[in-house]
Chains A and B, each alone.
Chain A
Amino acid sequence: MDLAIDREIFGLLGPNGSGKTTTVKMLTTLLAPTEGDATICGYSVTKNPLAVREQISYVPQDMAVDPKLTGRENVVFFAKVYGVPHPREAADEALAMLDLAPRADDLVRTYSGGMRRRLELAQALVHDPEVLFLDEPTIGLDVAGRRRIWEHIIALKNRGMTVFVTTHYMDEADRACDRVGIIDRGRVVATDTPAALKATVCRDIISIQTDGTFPGELPEGVTPLGRTGDELRFEADKGEEAGLALSGALTKAGMTVRSISVRQPTLDDVFLALVGEPEEAEGFDARRFRRMLRRRG
């Protein structure tokens, strides 16, 4: 793995067991790498872990906020342990930023999953880190909750923070990440912007429902892919424009175009092309599963 990440949202994608969490743990100094090194803000994670911890915040997968404390107590506690100069003010600011101020004095036990996630972000932001590590930040949240988390993450990037996030929700990574890396069995198999990655897999696919056969010339840059019954399929770089041109050409040739659909490749396609559909990479971890159940209970 060889990466440089600077003031952007970087998404690490990969199947279960591919090494996403392990990567994050090494970068956050929780695990020592067996070989190699990484520097964060100029500090080596192996030689100067303490300086690295000054610069980062880490939010692990398992929503770990104290249900017996209030939201404010949770954040003030983190501010104090981080050694923030004015812990109460810093906590108020972080709570307000994540829209938790109105519920700050309620016990976390009464919070919803989305609120707990935001509270975790508030804890992580209270010391204004340079780099934020988020391990599966939207796992287990509903659609609105996920969108909200991503809005906050994007706002953080716009304030100049570097965000390193792991996820296996491809659509979310596509929308929010500036660059993504795809990891498989501990190796990064691709890194680029989502758009560039999608372009490497296939072009846009245009399907047209029509009747008759097409005698004329195809517009430039459009390749026919085949025909199933009444459906003609083509491939082009810019699917929407090519679709319009195609429909014009077909109509001119005297055919009736009943419907057009354009499908653009998604990160899912990239992912499946690069990683395939692997069988479970490692044995089913019964202990971890039980722990998960216990947490739900």
Chain B
Amino acid sequence: MKRMFYYMERDFRRWIRGRVNVVSTLILPAAWLIFVGLALPIRFTDNYLDFIAPGILVLTMLGASLQGGGLLMFDKILGYLPKFLAMPAPRESILFGKILFITLRGLIQTTVILVIAILLGAHFLDPVLLLAIYTVLFVFGLLLSSLMTTVALKLEDHDSYSAINAMVSMPLFFTSSALMPYEEMPGWLAALARLNPVSYAIDAIRDLQAGVFPAVTLLGLLVGAVLILLVSVAVFRRATV
């Protein structure tokens, strides 16, 4: 178990020395927050920023996870992964290390977005609320980073990974409850949005904002995360290169 921290430490060192991508992943969510959150003329609420901020937090985590899956793809292409797989350390510690790194990095990035949102006037300052939001985002990150890391393990090259990435990211975001409440959506979109795991995470945060404990959505996310983790561990144990 200790070994997943060594794998995570390696990725953190590499990330911090990368410099450019430390900032680049923050641009898109910050742009959403400012150009959409502040500018869009919306009738269903008078504080659209408060409404859209949970969606942007989850979007940040989504982007971090999708981009994070690519890390394993690079480990594979560049020849690190075969070495790791030939080592006696349990292979799932490679997976857990990646999940931890991607999720923690995602939380660091969401923190920056959270600070920007608060500076812009969103209401998030309650410490208990913040802690609960981080928990939701952590579970969501677990689910998606585990999924994407395993997808990367199974895919042949980086081109196919970026293709999957592009195919998944925007549709997941737009078919979620990020931009408008279910009541404002056309029926077909609402049906899609209620199935989307991204909506689960967003709805959980909105419930928390409203002072409700989101038992059902959080449980749904947890069950999903555990299922995907189990499958991922099995796939990693049998990995060949």
Contacts and interface: CB of A to CB of B under 8 A. Distances in A.
Interface in B69-98: 77-80, 82-89, 93
A69 B157 contact: no
A32 B240 contact: yes
Nearest to A120: B83
Interface string A20-35: 0000010011111000
A28 B78 contact: no
B177 to A, nearest CB: 39
B88 A69 contact: no
B156 interface: yes
Interface of B is mostly: helix
B14 interface: yes
A28 B86 contact: yes
B128 interface: no
A50 B87 CA distance: 8
B123 interface: no
B240 A56 contact: no
Task: Give the interface size class of chain B.
Answer: 20 to 34
B138 interface: no
Task: Give the interface size class of chain A.
Answer: 20 to 34
A216 interface: no
A82 B3 CA distance: 9
A29 B89 contact: no
A81 B87 contact: yes
B3 A81 contact: yes
A83 B13 contact: no
B32 interface: no
Interface centre among A28, A68, A77, A81 (most CB of B within 10 A): A81
B86 to A, nearest CB: 4
A294 B18 CA distance: 19
Contact of B86 (A29, A32, A61, A294): A29
B161 to A, nearest CB: 14
B86 A53 contact: yes
21 contacts: A28-B86, A29-B86, A30-B85, A50-B88, A53-B87, A54-B88, A60-B82, A60-B83, A61-B79, A62-B78, A62-B79, A64-B78, A64-B79, A64-B83, A68-B17, A68-B18, A69-B10, A77-B6, A80-B3, A81-B87, A291-B157
